[in-house]
Amino acid sequence: MLDKEKEYYSDEVRLIAGTDEAGRGPLAGPVFAAAVIFPTGYVNDEINDSKKLTAKRRDKLFDLIKKDALAYGIASVSPKEIDEINIYEASRKAMMMALDQLSSKPDLILTDAMPLPSYPIKSIPIIKGDAKALCIAAASILAKVSRDCYMDELEKLYPDFSFSKHKGYGTKAHLQELDEHGPIEGVHRFSFEPVREKATSIWRFI
């Protein structure tokens, strides 16, 4: 059971938000983040780190989390901004944007190993938090499913790239597609070495 939150509940801390990101490693697409607040004492043994769940299970839990959450937010930062501020800062920004969307103000924020020193609410980074805290695991699912859906739609715009399969990660198939078609401006992350290496005179624009 994921119940790290229990360590932090007190008279002063009744609402705890968890936040996590999805998509730090891919060569293409935005980085997504989500934030979730569950009612105090909420329990759900099905929710786990998104990386440990099948796509079918994540999709089912996506709807359940949104239904059961006291509040949730989902945000993203574009590939262009990732290139401008770096992926680490982009991930942090996406988390804070997701937190800003929460309809209820949390008393405390738990993050998956990401410090948020400039955010106005106290936060605690937890190493492997998505495997320890229910609210962080739920946020990881919302972020992952949202990003996967975005990449599925991106393939419809750019059918030369099988984004629905590799989700923008640097798979053999994706690298071959980059060799054949060149990177897409506004879609690929040009600050990532594999994209920079494979950039050619072939350009595409959104």
Tell me: do 94 and 148 sit in the same domain: yes
Quick one: pLDDT at residue 49?
A: 84
Q: Please count the structural domains in the chain.
A: 2
Q: In this structure, is residue 206 part of a structural domain?
A: no
CA distance 25 to 191: 12
Tell me: do 27 and 105 sit in the same domain: yes
Q: In this structure, is residue 192 part of a structural domain?
A: yes
Domain that includes residue 126, residue range = 4-154
Give me the CATH number covering residue 134: 3.30.420.10
Tell me: do 52 and 110 sit in the same domain: yes
Tell me: do 187 and 113 sit in the same domain: no
Q: Any known ligand binding at 160?
A: no
Quick one: pLDDT at residue 199?
A: 78
3-state secondary structure at position 152 = helix
Question: pLDDT, tens digit, for every residue of 168-181?
Answer: 999 999 999 999 99
Cβ proximity of 22 and 32 under 8 Å:
yes
Alpha helices in 38-78 (DSSP H): 55-68
CA distance 66 to 198: 40
Quick one: pLDDT at residue 200?
A: 55
Tokens for 174, please give them.
């994706």
Quick one: pLDDT at residue 197?
A: 86
Tokens for 77, please give them.
């930062």
Q: In this structure, is residue 121 part of a structural domain?
A: yes
Tell me: do 143 and 167 sit in the same domain: no
Tell me: do 41 and 123 sit in the same domain: yes
Sites in the chain below the pLDDT cut of 50: 201, 205-206
Q: How many CA atoms lie within 13 A of 54 on its CB side?
A: 3
Tell me: do 39 and 74 sit in the same domain: yes
Tell me: do 99 and 189 sit in the same domain: no
3-state secondary structure at position 116 = coil
Tell me: do 148 and 121 sit in the same domain: yes
Q: Which residues contact 140 (CB under 8 A, 6 or more apart)?
A: 20, 22, 34, 49, 50, 51, 112, 130
Q: How many beta carbons lie within 10 A of that of residue 94, not counting itself?
A: 30
3-state secondary structure at position 71 = strand
